[in-house]
Copies of this chain bind each other. A is one copy, B any other.
Amino acid sequence: LRVRKIPGAEEALMLIDSIYIHEAEKNKGKWKAYFKNNNPIHAEFGGGKGKFIIEMAISNPHINFIMVDMVTEVMLKAAQKAQELELSNLKMIRIDLRYAKQFFDANELERIYLNFSDPWPKKKHYKRRLTYRDFLMTYRDILIPDGEIHFKTDNRGLFEFSLNEFAELDLVMKNISLDLHKNSDVPYCTTEYEEKFIALGQPIYRIEVKFRNEKKES
């Protein structure tokens, strides 16, 4: 995703402090306290303009959501929309996921969503893909033992890579779809990207995975 720089975006984002958390590392290990309830926490890693996570937050008031992204400009739009909707169960943080463990403690997340992550199609960039094994091992640490990763993408190459990473780490897989919207009655929230691909008739790939408990304990 290439984004045009918007002057003052950073400052504008920081003003939306009901949604955007500037010094997110201070919440490590204290996210439930921050949300002021004991509800499970789901995070979307790479939330973009926020359509998916905002719809999820509206539909699931008893789950807390954290949207993570790196790009100020798209987060600003997401944050503005969430602010307008006065969503109390959605926060946004701008962090580099390589350092996710500086922001989330062990077992803090119940679920991670990866939606249309950057495919990094060049072979030499495979370690940057958010389903690369090093990222997955980080997710394992910050997820609860039975916590799930829900991943979808339009990119066949990225999905293939991801399946092999999941298999390599011996993750438990379920609800695998190679054409999610083949049947129109899909009960999942969609992203902005996804709507475009559906309109174009291109297949969306999706899977749910989790780590084996015996590995978690080792």
Residues of A within 8 A of B (CB): 156-157, 159-160, 163-164, 167-168, 170, 172-179, 182, 203
Contact = CB atoms under 8 A, between A and B. Distances in A.
A212 to B, nearest CB: 10
Question: What's the number of copies of this chain in the assembled complex?
Answer: 2
Contact of A172 (B156, B159, B167, B175): B167
Contacts of A156: 178-179, 203
Contacts of A178: 156-157, 159-160, 163, 178
A160 B173 CA distance: 12
Nearest to A160: B178
A157 B176 CA distance: 11
A175 B179 contact: no
A218 B7 CA distance: 64
Q: Which 3 A-B pairs have the closest CB atoms?
A: A160-B178, A167-B173, A163-B176
A160 B203 CA distance: 12
Nearest to A168: B174
Contacts of A176: 160, 163-164, 167
Nearest to A162: B176
Contact of A174 (B160, B167, B173): B167
Given A156-B203, A178-B178, 7 more contacts: A156-B179, A163-B176, A164-B174, A164-B175, A164-B176, A167-B173, A167-B176
Contacts of A182: 157
Nearest to A170: B172
A176 to B, nearest CB: 4
A100 B11 CA distance: 69
Contacts of A175: 164
Contacts of A179: 156-157, 160
A76 to B, nearest CB: 35
Nearest to A163: B176
B177 A160 contact: yes
Nearest to A179: B156
Nearest to A166: B173
Contacts of A177: 160
